Structure 1
Amino acid sequence: MGAGKTKGRRAIPWVVLALWVGVLAIASPFAAKLADVQHDRITDYLPASADSTKAAELQERLPGGETTELVLVYHRDGGLTAADRATAQEQVTRVAGEHALTGPPQGIPSEDGTTLMYPVASNEPGTDEEKRDAFVDAVRQVAHGEGGLTVEVGGTGALATDASEVYNSLGGPLLYTTVAVVAVLLILIYRSPVLWLVPLVVAGIADYLSMAVAYGLNQAFGTSVSGQSSGIMTILVFGAGTDYALLLVSRYREELRRIERPYDAMRAALRGCGPAVLASSGTVAAGLLCLLAADLNSNRGMGPLGTVGVLCALVAMLTLLPAVLVLLGRRVFWPLVPAYGSTPKARRSLFAAMGTSAGRRPLTVLAGGAVLLGALALGALNLPGTVKQQDTFVDTPESVAAMEVLARAYPQGSAQPIDVLTPAARADATLTTIQGVDGVDSARKGRTGEGWTEISVTASAPPQSAAETATIERLRDSLDGSYVGGASAQQIDLKDTNARDRLIVVPLVLLSVLLILGVLLRSLVAPLLLTAAVVAVWGASLGLGGLLFEPVFGFEGTDPGLGLLTFVFLVALGVDYGIFLMHRMREESLRGAEPAAAALTALRTTGGVIASAGLVLAATFAVLTNMGLVQLVELGFVIAVGVLLDTFLVRTYLVTSASVALGRRVWWPGRLARAPEPEPAREREPVVG
């Protein structure tokens, strides 16, 4: 009977391994197709209900589909020569001969004679991103200068192509960089030539599975997949997955010292840390799913994909990782093998020292930390305004260089059209109304189809300036039943929609996190404490961004969605570590430890694991700072800094100090909030002599 039971236990890890092989075989064809459904069109990043989105969708339905708009910019510092103008005319004529343009290009010279621009528009690519990029590249091959004549291709189409190049580069470089960073950290943490490889390989398998599930969601529910959302999904798989692995491996090592068989030790480890891992992943998933309430397409799509990444990491780390570790046995820890019956070498713990200082003067530490976080949060007042489209690149691509030349050469005009989509039956009346709007320089009717007419409007003010914004607002106020779109209108809608999404998503995230924490910790005070701590971290991280983005990094603006996305990630991921700490604190309290002792023991036993996990997660998000778009760099910076603040300041000092100061009240109104009743004194039995 005993031998059969042992044989059955030995078979379980092999069964789990076989099941994963089967799952991967099924998932493989779907994972490979995720890149085919990834799109980075402007409508994938716009608000679902905004005017500019409706305009872009209607443009796709017009004859020829979506219009790709370019501007060929010819410039010579000392002034264009006759030969330069002839070169420009020759090249533009060649472009018109090789591609189907919406109209003959007309050159517009600058007043100072240094620049000549040719707006070019084509419906040839339609909505196909690859065709758009091929069209832009073909035009760039034709448009070139020499001998001091610079020729650059700008416009919204060229900007989209340059942005697409950055997003397409996210897949490979982001994955390889993330894997390399996690590998280095795991080697340093485990100090083993083999152990680091196991969670890394399992995380890679979880990432592959998440790609298949993401593709399935796209096919079943139409979930949007963009370069940004798929990149964040990969980061979450490796970051969160490695965190769960660190917690499990740490507990498994602990159990191997007191339990002889690896299988039984792993069961004990899963029982010990499983609830905390499940709760933490559930908190992250719930927080990310709140993004489904957002109106911004990119945010709403990121919610399901981020959740898929976290849950795939969870399943892999709680099934595949334990199976592999059990099959490899104790030797996987070589050279630091945890022998049965051994005790770990006693070392002075940094976190024990930190806990002692926090426990000695809890109120002083708490007040000092609160003042520091508050002071850092004030830096958010210095955050630059909304980033302009041409300022979204870390390095200046050709499209941005072209727009900068245009801004200098045509300071009073706009080379970026405003698109108005109006019912065809009212096209003439709409055109007359537009021409009478203050701030409009010119307007002309474009394509007609599907009952709609496109009117191209040129403002008298530079693109994305306050004056052009006012012109767009006046157009929207003056036109009923028409939609005002274009690049500048899209930026306005992005800013407005992000403000609206914050009012809806932030309360949902806070409520979902508080509910999960309340159920897990059986308390109202502890969840409020943890939530307040992570909100303070978010404010301080944004404040650091305000102090560094423009003065140090030279960024001209911030993405409108930075506040919302960083809030969702930092609150959900920050509470993650709070769960690890408070869950262990609750375990110690249930064993009868006094509140202060329980808090300090929890910090001493989990501090090292939480620190390692925080370093890994911060490093994975820091990978985004190496990408070529300002919004990704800012997102990665704020989240990485926030995770480090949470790990080494808030979780170690402030939460521990607050727990010591509150005592049993931290568990109110649960039973742990009440002092244990003293045992009744036993009556002494009479002595029989």
Structure 2
Amino acid sequence: MIRKLTSFSTRHRWLTVVVWTVLGAALSFVGNSMMYDVTDSRAGDFLPKKYDSAVALRIAEEDFGTEPDPNALTVLVARDDGAKLTPADQRRIAGTAADLGRERVVAPKPEPLMKDHSQTPRVSPGAVAPDKSFRLLTVSLDGNPNDPGLQDVYKEFRDHAKDAFADADLRVGFTGGIASTVDNADAEESTGKVVSILTMGLIVLLNVLVFRSPAAAFVPLIAVALIGGVASGAVVGAAKLFDIGLDPSTPSLIGVVLLGIGIDYFLFLMFRFREQLRNHPEQNARAAAAETTGRVGRAITSAALTIVAAFATLGLASFGQFRVLGPAIAIAVLVMLLASLTLMPALLALLGRGMFWPARAWKKERTGGIAARLGHAVSSRPLRCALGSLVLLGALGAGAVGIKMSYDQQGLHETAASRTAEQISRSLPAGVSDPHSVYVRSTDGTAIEPSSLTGMTRSLAKAEGVGEVGKPVLSKDRTAARVDLFLSVESDTQQARDLVSGPVRETAARTAPKGTDAYVTGTAAVFADIATAVEKDLRLVFPVAALLIAVILFLLLRSLLAPVVLMIAVGLGFVATLGASTLLFQHGLDRPGVSFTLPLVLFLFVVALGTDYNILITDRIREEMEKPVPARTAVAEAVRHTAPAIATAGIVLAGSFASLAASPATQEIGFATGLGILLSSLVLSLVLVPALAAVLGRGLWWPRRSGRTPGHHHTPDGPPPAPEQQHHHYPYAAAPAHFDHQGRI
């Protein structure tokens, strides 16, 4: 199947390139235009319906006709001179606010297929500071706060509001909701551009250094950008078709994954293509490209399916952000796999030897170098290398002892929104800009009397962590009630989640009127429930993903022992990466813990992506062991041939993920995945796994018998020749027609 697909794409190389180009342009346009229509920024929407805060959200929608508004922003209005607000000031604020609530904000003309976010904002009065130093207003806008179109509307409203209040000698500040989203995005804009340039520069520089060719440096980037457009459109189309809301972080994660694995797969093909041309100078480019992809295709397919299987298991998660992230990345990786077997070989067939122009040194096989010395060192002293790797991984993994999960937002930029929030918190309860609500619903449909709620509101006012409690509001049919409250601490902290999930919920449940049930919702309540859901998902997804990866490895390697060795290796890599991240963020930076999403995302990225490199080195070791040479010589040859490709690919993929560290929201994931990929490629794939293979010899493929070349006597396992002797001892051209996955420098 793989050979038929690659043969077709190389025979019809121009058609293949044109089809992918048209698809890339069309689906990229659709994806960019509709991405924000299928993303959902409300964390509560991703919770299973059975959780306390999710039930409260349904009551809010069904009985009160309201939904949580991620765009609701708090506007602080104060005098320019810092004096207390006078009655006249209060009237001017009320009048100006009413005017703002009647004026339609016109958005810039949207791009084709993009939504017009022009609208009239909803403006309502809020609390007044006890010292009369400011008054608050609440403003709501409809739309996705991550959508640039809605952000433009907010900026128009913000500027207009500043001018309107300035005419009355008043100043304004904005915080919460879309105000914080826009300010953080603006603060990260320049950093993001610099990081993107550096990431692209790293990829180009590495390819130039390795291949000494401009085409080898830029063609993969252009191809991956094209494929990324197709994948983006495919993910958006699937989300639209099945009415799925994606998490706002999904597009950026997909982009990083595709950039990393796309460049990796292209590197594997280019290394192998270059070797094919070197060993068969008489072969034309089309035949060489077909032969190359036909041989490497199985390993690339297995590697990609490992990622797909791992992320597909997220579909079993109860927490919606995980449940939609997994299939989205799986779809994107499948698109990249299809491109790896069609578009990439077609480009190689078109460019041929021009892919490596003007370099000429590649036409001669290089038998020495760092890769050869590494292969000789690992195979001649395998126990020492394996022990050294285990000590390193164990030392890093020890940092995971005492790990804690954190749901706080760490390292956010200091912005105008954060300064406004600080000013508010100095005069009012810290949670005033992010209120929580207790929803009470009758269990038998009888009406709720306002007087029956008095005991509950009094008890809530005395509960630990509650700063202020509002008056109860009844639904139209009086079968439900809402009691708003402000916490005395910031809503997005662990302390707030502990208070809401403990004293607040306990008090509401205990003092609710007879015949009713009480449910608490709000930022802290939602994330407290998310913590419970994530903990359950970790216990489910980890073993299922590990089992699927093990099955794929078994089908590829046709061995029971080899998959076990690889799974133990990647497991050690995962623990080491998690331990290093805990040491840095929890202990080194004195944070409450590591991000609650880190263990699961890290497990999937490091185990699934890291397994790619292990598949490539192990498959090459198997090929070398099928030849009539000692097992340790086979290991040395495998490392010599694959080390350049694996090291280059690992650095590229790690650099892609490390770019996420530039944003505070993804800082931990960026650092951890970058480190994990480096450990997987440089330590596990090039040292630990080959060392264990050298120790186990051909027994690594138990119970399968090693396929030695017919007609040759068994050569006992023994130490490999020194690097400078390898070419004469074991000329590659004389070996059977089995070629490596990546080639070599």
TM range (shorter): 0.7 to 0.9
Cα distance, 1:250 vs structure 2: 0.6
SS of equivalent residue, structure 1 residue 225: coil
Measured after TM superposition, the shift of residue 375 of structure 1 is: 1.5
Q: 1:553 to 1:336 in 2, by over 3 A?
A: farther
- Note the 1:403-482 alignment, pairs <5 A: 403-409=421-427, 416-423=434-441, 425-426=447-448, 428=450, 429=452, 432-437=455-460, 438-439=463-464, 440=466, 441-446=468-473, 448=475, 452-460=480-488, 463=491, 464=493, 465=495, 466-475=498-507, 477-478=509-510, 481-482=517-518
Q: Deviations over 1:39-69 (max 9, x none)?
A: 3422477423333344345545544654565
Residue 404 (structure 1) shift: 3.4
Whether contact under 8 Å (1:541, 1:642) holds in the other structure is yes
Q: Which residue of 1 aligns with 2:275?
A: 254
Inter-partner Cα distance in structure 2 for 1:544 and 1:242: 27
Greater mean deviation of Cα atoms: 55-64 or 508-517: 55-64
> Which amino acid in 2 is paired with 1:574?
G
Name the CA shift for 1:252/1:674 in 2 (closer, same or farther; >3 Å). Answer: closer
Residue 396 of structure 1 aligns with which residue? 414
| Deviation (angstroms), 1:137 | 6.7
Partner of 2:114: none
Matched, 1:532 2:568: yes
Q: 1:52 aligned to 2:53? A: yes
Does the CA contact (< 8 Å) of 1:48 and 1:296 recur in 2?
yes
Match 2:692 to one of 639, 658, 678:
658
Tell me, yes or no, if structure 1 residue 502 matches structure 2 residue 538. Answer: yes
The answer on 1:541 being equivalent to 2:560 is no
The aligned runs of 1:68-87 (5 Å cut-off) are: 69-73=72-76, 81-82=83-84
What is the match of residue 33 of structure 1?
33
Instruction: Please say if 1:292 is aligned against 2:312.
Output: no
CA 1:357–1:332 in 2, change beyond 3 Å: closer, same or farther?
Answer: closer
1:107 equivalent in structure 2? 128
Q: Secondary structure in 2 aligned to 1:82?
A: coil
> Could you list the per-position Cα deviations for residues 541-591 of structure 1 after superposition, in whole angstroms to 9, with x for gaps in the alignment?
222222322566676653211111111111000111100000111111223
Letter in 2 for 1:377: G
Unaligned runs of 5+ in 2: 1-6, 102-120, 715-745
Q: Indicate yes or no: 2:611 matched with 1:580.
A: no
Note the alpha carbon deviations across 1:110-156, whole angstroms, 9 max, x for none.
Answer: xxx5x84645445x53555466884587357646899x998643345
Q: Deviations over 1:43-102 (max 9, x none)?
A: 4774233333443455455446545654445799xx963368976774465235422768
Q: 2:557 aligns with which of 513, 518, 521?
A: 521
Q: Shift in Å at residue 235 of structure 1?
A: 1.2
**Matched ranges for 1:182-581 at <5 A:** 182-259=203-280, 260-337=283-360, 343-346=364-367, 348-381=368-401, 386-388=406-408, 391-392=409-410, 394-409=412-427, 416-423=434-441, 425-426=447-448, 428=450, 429=452, 432-437=455-460, 438-439=463-464, 440=466, 441-446=468-473, 448=475, 452-460=480-488, 463=491, 464=493, 465=495, 466-475=498-507, 477-478=509-510, 481-549=517-585, 558-581=594-617
Mapped contact 1:621–1:636 kept (Cα < 8 A): yes
The structure-2 alpha-carbon separation of the partners of 1:218 and 1:47, relative to structure 1 and needing over 3 Å to count, comes to same
Query: Aligned letter for 1:249?
Result: M
Identify the residue that residue 684 of structure 1 maps to in structure 2: none
Q: 1:196 to 1:69 in 2, by over 3 A?
A: closer
Distance 1:659 1:116, change over 3 A: farther
Contact 1:155 1:399 survives alignment (8 Å): yes
- Offset of residue 233 of structure 1: 0.9
Q: Secondary structure in 2 aligned to 1:394?
A: coil
Contact 1:38 / 1:227 at 8 angstroms: preserved in 2? Answer: no
What TM-score do you get using the length of structure 1 for normalisation? 0.84
The 3 A distance-change label for structure 1 pair 459 and 365 is same
What are the equivalent positions in structure 2 for 1:82-101 lying under 5 Å apart? Answer: 82=84, 90-91=92-93, 94-99=96-101
The residue aligned with 2:110 is none
1:125 maps to a residue whose letter is: L
Q: Cα–Cα, structure 1 residues 432 and 172, in superposed 2: closer, same or farther, change >3 Å? A: farther
Whether the aligned pair in 2 keeps the contact of 1:292 and 1:300 (CA below 8 Å) is yes
1:125 aligns with 2:148: no
> Residue 354 of structure 2 aligns to a residue in which SS?
helix
- Alpha-carbon spacing, 1:404–1:179, altered in 2? closer, same or farther (3 Å): same
- Supply the AA of the counterpart residue of 2:241: A
Q: Pick closer, same or farther for the CA change 1:126–1:245 going to 2, 3 Å.
A: closer
Alpha-carbon distance between aligned partners in 2 of 1:14 and 1:571, rounded to the nearest angstrom: 37
Q: Distance in 2 between matches of 1:85 and 1:539?
A: 62
**Which structure 1 residue ranges, 5 or more long, are not aligned?**
1-6, 681-689
TM-superposed deviation, 1:303 = 0.9
1:169, 1:294 → 2: CA distance?
Answer: 36
Greater alpha carbon shift after TM alignment, 525-534 vs 218-227: 218-227
Q: 1:462: Cα distance to partner?
A: 5.3
> Aligned residue for 1:683?
none
Instruction: Return closer, same or farther for 1:135/1:617 CA change in 2, 3 Å cut-off.
Output: closer
Deviation (angstroms), 1:600: 2.0
Q: Which whole-Å CA distance do the structure 1 matches of 2:655 and 2:388 have between them?
A: 27
Inter-partner Cα distance in structure 1 for 2:32 and 2:39: 15
Is the Cα–Cα contact under 8 Å of residues 472 and 483 in structure 2 kept in the other structure?
Answer: yes
Out of 349-358 and 238-247, give the one that drifted further. Answer: 349-358
Contact 1:46 1:490 survives alignment (8 Å): no
SS in 2 for 1:422: strand
User: Counterpart of 2:157?
Assistant: 138
1:350 Cα deviation from its structure 2 partner: 1.6
Q: Determine which of 586, 590, 596 is the counterpart of 2:632.
A: 596
- Quick one: distance in 1 between partners of 2:74 and 2:87? 15
Structure 2 distance, partners of 1:412, 1:131, is 28
- Aligned to 1:420, the other structure's residue is in SS state strand
- Quick one: which amino acid aligns to residue 293 of structure 2? L
2:224–2:263 Cα contact (<8 Å) kept: yes
Q: Deviations over 1:593-616 (max 9, x none)?
A: 433222222111111100011011
Opposite residue 400 of structure 1, the aligned amino acid is S
Q: CA–CA distance in 2 between the matches of 1:191 and 1:427?
A: 80
Distance 1:434-1:531 versus aligned 2 partners, 3 A rule: farther
The secondary structure found in structure 2 opposite 1:105 is: strand
Q: Residues 171 and 44 (structure 1 numbering): CA distance in 2 closer, same or farther, change over 3 Å?
A: farther
1-structure distance, mates of 2:192, 2:322? 19
| Root-mean-square deviation over aligned CA pairs | 3.9
Q: CA deviation at 1:200?
A: 1.4
CA contact (8 A) 1:91 1:142 kept: no
Cα distance change, pair 590–321 in 1 and its aligned pair in 2 (3 A): same
How far off its partner does 1:502 sit?
0.6
Pick closer, same or farther for the CA change 1:552–1:407 going to 2, 3 Å.
farther
Deviation of residue 181 (structure 1)? 4.1
Q: Kindly state the Cα deviation for residue 301 of structure 1 after the two structures are TM-superposed.
A: 1.6
Contact 1:73 1:152 in 2 (8 A): yes
Retained in 2: the 8 A contact 1:475–1:484? no
Please state whether the residue corresponding to 1:526 is helix, strand or coil. helix
Residue range with higher mean Cα deviation, 586-595 or 533-542: 586-595
Offset of residue 241 of structure 1: 0.8
**Residue 13 of structure 1 aligns with which residue?**
13
Q: Using the alignment, how far apart are the partners of 1:637 and 1:180 within structure 2?
A: 19
**Residue 595 of structure 2 aligns to a residue in which SS?**
coil
Name the CA distance, whole Å, in 1 between partners of 2:217 and 2:646: 17
- CA deviation after TM superposition for structure 1 residue 336, in Å: 2.0
Q: So what's the TM-score if we normalise by structure 2? A: 0.79
Native 8 Å contact 1:386 1:559 kept in 2? yes
- Tell me the number of residue pairs that the alignment of Structure 1 and Structure 2 aligns: 660
Query: What is the alpha-carbon distance in structure 2 between the residues aligned to residue 132 and residue 18 of structure 1?
Result: 36
